[in-house]
A and B are shown apart, each in its own frame.
Chain A
Amino acid sequence: MATTMSVSVTVNGAEYTADVEPRMLLVHLLRDELGLTGTHIGCDTTHCGACTILLNGTPIKSCTMFAVQADGQALTTVEGLTSNGELSPIQEAFKEEHGLQCGYCTPGMMLTGTALLESSPEPSEAEIRMAISGNLCRCTGYQNIVHAIQSAARTMAENGTGTGGDAGSGSGASEGGEE
């Protein structure tokens, strides 16, 4: 039978080590081994983006990466968006702007939005739509998803805060202070 390999990852600031088969997908490591079921599987083919997480701050589709490829990397999942139980600006905005219906695409949408606002704090609507073009919403709530990301950008600008979260995705931690 198949051999296993050891993989160590930092997920939302916490370190995990697991022995997994080399063919195990990263999304299955998160969901089955670590119990982080907030990351969803929609299509298994990289189309839908439901499994989007951040790898060292960059959005990736975790159904299209092997768990062992993430060895030594820092991951952020939807469970890491809150900070001490407080919602991040983007989580708050999705709630306020009715940016979700069934909620299945929502973790991926919020992580993609988080990464966008890290690199581009004041994105245009076109930039937002381009950023989420790899995330499908079957409820077709795109309009309000765009509104939510715009709203989060405004909140961050007003409060002078970053995208938040326990994960400490790196670039966001030192931002802020500017009005």
Chain B
Amino acid sequence: MSTPQELGGLGCSVKRKEDARFIRGQGRYVDDVKLPNMVYLELVRSPFAHARIGSIDTSAALEIPGVLAVITGEDLAAANLSWMPTLSHDQQMVLATGKVLFQGQEVAAVVGETRFAAADGAAAVRIDYEGASRSRGPPHGFGRQCAGPPRGSRGKDESHLPLGIR
């Protein structure tokens, strides 16, 4: 069953209205938006899979021209913003407090006037990690003292690890 082509209903090919701008490079994605006084963010990430955060020294980063702020997990905790809900109904740290639980976890955020200032600032943040260890995957971590799921949540490991690992 189809309707006449001129009506453009059932069974008729319909041209997309948005294609005209996309094929000319005139889409407006979030990354394309540029507003006055917009600044850049660069994240400092943990090189370790499991470690306590001893101390974070942001003084050198803050001295770099163009660095506007360095934010740590403790700063967020003071504002009660260090944990956020996720789509899987648990919660995760925004920036690590106390310890890091995976390699690449966000530990500090540097705000800069330019992307270069933010990057330089991130490189200048000094973090002392204590008791650093690397998990080499589930078989090695299983049965040992693991980092454990975030407090108040089931965590990712419960839904993934029990399948097939003995």
Q: Is the CB of B19 within 8 A of A103?
A: yes
- A-B interface contact total, Cβ < 8 Å: 58
Interface residues of A in 105-134 (CB under 8 A from B): 106-107, 110
In the complex, which of the residues A37, A78, A87, A94 contacts B32, with contact meaning CB atoms closer than 8 Å?
Answer: A37
Q: Is the CB of B20 within 8 A of A95?
A: yes
Stretch touching chain B among A38-46, A63-71, A169-177: A38-46
Number of interface residues of A (CB under 8 A): 29
Q: Is the CB of B24 within 8 A of A103?
A: no
Q: Is the CB of B116 within 8 A of A23?
A: yes
The residues of A that contact B27 with a CB separation of less than 8 Å are 38, 103-104
Q: Does B26 contact A (CB under 8 A)?
A: yes
The residues of A that contact B79 with a CB separation of less than 8 Å are none
The residues of A that contact B99 with a CB separation of less than 8 Å are none
Q: Which residue of A lies closest to B28 (CB)?
A: A37
Residues of B contacting A: mostly: loop
How many B residues are at the interface, by size bracket? 10 to 19
In the complex, which of the residues B16, B19, B25 contacts A107, with contact meaning CB atoms closer than 8 Å?
Answer: B25
- How far does the Cβ of B40 sit from chain A's closest Cβ, in whole Å? 10
Q: Is the CB of A110 within 8 A of B29?
A: no
The residues of B that contact A2 with a CB separation of less than 8 Å are 116
The residues of B that contact A91 with a CB separation of less than 8 Å are 23-24
Which residues from chain A sit less than 8 Å from chain B, CB to CB?
Answer: 1-2, 21, 23-24, 28, 31, 36-41, 77-79, 81-82, 87, 91, 94-95, 98, 100, 103-104, 106-107, 110
